Structure 1
Amino acid sequence: MYSTAMGTNETSDRLVEATRELLWERGYVGTSPKAVQQAAGAGQGSMYHHFAGKRDLALAAIRRTAGEMDAAAGAVLEGGGSAYARIEAYVLRERDVLRGCPVGRLTMDPEVIADPELRAPVEEVIGRLRARLAAIVREGRDSGELDGSLDPEETAATVVATVQGGYVLARATGSPASFDSAVRGLLALLAPRPAR
């Protein structure tokens, strides 16, 4: 019984992982059940045993992707160091910028955005990211480390927009240098100023 349950979980996991990759590469419309089954090495019966259909599987994949993004951002933003150092660590953390952000790419998928349930994990993870960043900016502003005129919510939105826009620039130019340039510019704007 244990090995059967284990195999069931492994098949479900392979299906979710295959769907995550395909959503990132092809989007929702381009992610067919047949492509998922082939990528996962699973049959149609296995897929429909675990998931009601493509939408149900996509929702599981989107939730997992959002959860991983949330955990990765949290590990950096909730770590030690100054407010600026945590923001810097977040924007400079290692990313595959030429592939784009797996969550950010979902925001450009009309089918995901049109479906409130598929869109919800995307909205939630971006909302949590912005809230974390706003809290860090507020902390840095209140301690005098960051410019006192910074609006925490607007600055958090700017950080998220810079990272997401950096992905777009990198993909458009075929070079991670465009992403690097965007985040370096942001960091220069946020850099603590020496006391006079």
Structure 2
Amino acid sequence: MREYLILFTRSVIAYFVLLFFTRVMGKKQMSQLTYFDYIVGITIGSIAAVASVDKDINVFEGSFSIIIWSVLTILISEVTLKNIKIRLWLEGEPLVIINDGKVIYKNMKKARYNIGDLLMQLRDKDVFYITDVEMAVLEPDGKLSILKKAQKSTLTAEDMNIKKPKPRMMVDIVLNGNILSRHLQQINKDEQWVIKKY
């Protein structure tokens, strides 16, 4: 029974240290993570897992290791925000892969990116012919940004001189049966408006 209590305590400590530093390190969408960010996240998670279950490692030593990794990650993030050269060196830079419907093989080789990956990502964007692409850029996170040639682009309301109403942002005003006053303030409404409306 004592072992389970120790395991529980270690897990709770590792969990909250990990939770705290993931909040401090900031929010990034998975799609915004660089390969390095992804590896650092896995490493920090692995340290937390080992610290919570390995009896040979002091839970505070494991937590200290999480702190070191997190602080280094935060410092690197701050440096890359302020220094573009370091950011490009650490995260990589976007590479033009297609220009005017022609593949730039030199850049593909530089990125260790093959034609199969290129064709798959083009199909994922509903592009089936390389010649339909004005420009394709391989982003540092591995995603492909595509600009289709003008004659292959999707027709828009602007192209047809159609005036569309301005889009409005949807805001939750009731959640789990509770009125969200802060959200009502954003749209210049009050609780009486909600009651009358619904």
Q: Tell me which interval the TM-score lies in, with the shorter structure as reference length.
A: under 0.3
Greater relative contact order structure (CA < 8 Å, 6+ sep): 1
TM-score (norm 2): 0.23
TM-score (norm 1): 0.23
Which structure features the higher share of helix residues? 1
